[in-house]
């Protein structure tokens, strides 16, 4: 994309979990737009392989492997960006894992692992990056990663939906805290064919065909479901990393296939008032005719292939 309007020449980015999947697509696209990229992944081979691929495409990248979560990893990533490339402008906190299980079977360890990688990993990395960006004094871009499961809830994903919803909540708070330092903070809500989604029955045959011989994903997936390849999600990250997104902050932005979307933030939709306040009896009597009239829906609608 270098030479096009969105140009990141001279910018320095960190992408966590960039060894494969969406993170690799983000790191490659940032490098293609001219940024120098610190590629992090818990999987050392994936991180070094990604750097080799980016270099092969003419991009500038270094690997800094390690598991995000602890602040020591976060600090190391920022130190590497500065020692290697002299500064830090962009952070994408993409690293993630799943440990799906119904609530009544989920272990403490499954809960803690997911919360540690996604939620603590986002907190520690953003804190370290924002400290550096504030010291530099010329703004920055923070892009965190949510999920439809966090926005809407999803069966079997207590740990994941909690962490992803909390990440978007942090982005709202950080956008307010960082705006005076000209640091824009936004959440991307991607949907793409990766190791994380390839087991979903409705998607699997199409993902297999795309991986096998590049067969394009069908229209009902790309536009209808907003589901595409990791590369489809990368343009949004490059935009949010660039000068063109100045003033865009505190947003949760959906991307997948042919669909770009803006998510709402939670807000009160219906209000009822009663002189003297609401006793349990008063709520019970009027629930169905007041705020209970149109309850909110939950869950991510399942994809429906055409008949
Ligand atoms: N694929 C989707 O449709 C989808 C939808 C919503 C959100 N997301 C989110 O996008 C992000 C990337 O997902 P993906 O589908 O590309 O997954 P993926 O499994 O293909 O890639 C995730 C990468 O993160 C790395 N990783 C795991 N734990 C790590 C840690 N502690 N530190 C550093 N790296 C670590 C893995 O080694 C892997 O390379 C995740 O945060 C995920 O929750 C994905």
* Ligand 1 near 43 CB (within 6 A): yes
- Return the ligand 1 atom nearest residue 116 CA: 31
CA dihedral (5, 8, 13, 15) in degrees, to 10, reads: 30
- Return the ligand 1 atom nearest residue 25 CA: 16
Q: Find out whether 175 and 142 touch, Cβ atoms under 8 Å.
A: no
Catalytic residue flag (residue 160): yes
* Ligand 1 near 17 CB (within 6 A): yes
* Ligand 1 near 27 CB (within 6 A): no
State both tokens at 205: 């045959």
**pLDDT tens digits, one per residue of 29-63:** 999 999 999 999 999 999 999 999 999 999 999 99
How far is CA 177 from each of CA 49, 185, 251, rounded to the nearest angstrom?
A: 36, 10, 14
| Chain position carrying tokens 């990368």 | 234
Q: Find out whether 24 and 1 touch, Cβ atoms under 8 Å.
A: no
Taking the model in full, what pTM does it have?
0.97
* Ligand 1 near 64 CB (within 6 A): no
Q: At 4, is the pLDDT very low, low, confident or very high (cuts 50, 70, 90)?
A: low
**pLDDT tens digits, one per residue of 158-212:** 999 999 999 999 999 999 999 999 999 999 999 999 888 887 888 889 999 999 9
């Amino acid at each position: 994309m270098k030479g096009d309007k969105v140009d990141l020449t001279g910018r320095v980015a960190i992408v966590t979990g960039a060894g494969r999947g969406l993170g690799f697509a983000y790191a490659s696209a940032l490098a293609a737009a001219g940024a120098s990229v610190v590629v992090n992944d818990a999987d050392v081979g994936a991180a070094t392989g990604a750097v080799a691929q980016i270099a092969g495409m003419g991009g500038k990248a270094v690997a800094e492997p390690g598991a995000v979560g602890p602040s020591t990893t976060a600090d190391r990533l920022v130190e590497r960006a500065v020692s290697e490339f002299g500064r830090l402008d962009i952070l994408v906190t993409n690293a993630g894992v799943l440990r799906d299980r119904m609530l009544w079977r989920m272990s403490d360890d499954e809960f803690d692992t997911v919360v540690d990688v996604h939620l603590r990993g986002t907190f520690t990395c953003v804190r370290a990056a924002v400290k550096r960006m504030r010291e530099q004094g010329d703004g920055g871009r923070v892009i965190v990663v949510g999920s439809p499961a966090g926005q809407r809830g999803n069966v079997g994903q207590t740990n994941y939906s909690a962490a992803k919803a909390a990440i978007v909540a942090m982005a709202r708070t950080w956008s307010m805290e960082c705006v005076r330092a000209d640091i824009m903070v936004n959440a991307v809500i991607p949907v793409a064919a990766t190791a994380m989604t390839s087991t979903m029955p409705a998607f699997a045959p199409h993902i297999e065909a795309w991986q096998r011989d590049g067969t394009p994903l069908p229209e009902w997936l790309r536009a209808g479901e907003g589901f595409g390849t990791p590369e489809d999600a990368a343009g949004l990250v490059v935009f949010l990393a660039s000068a063109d997104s100045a003033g865009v902050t505190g947003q949760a932005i959906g991307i997948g296939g042919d669909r770009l979307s803006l998510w709402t933030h939670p807000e009160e939709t219906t209000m009822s008032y009663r002189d003297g306040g609401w006793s349990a009896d008063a709520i019970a009597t009027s629930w169905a005719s007041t705020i209970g009239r149109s309850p909110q829906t939950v869950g991510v609608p399942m994809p429906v292939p055409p008949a």
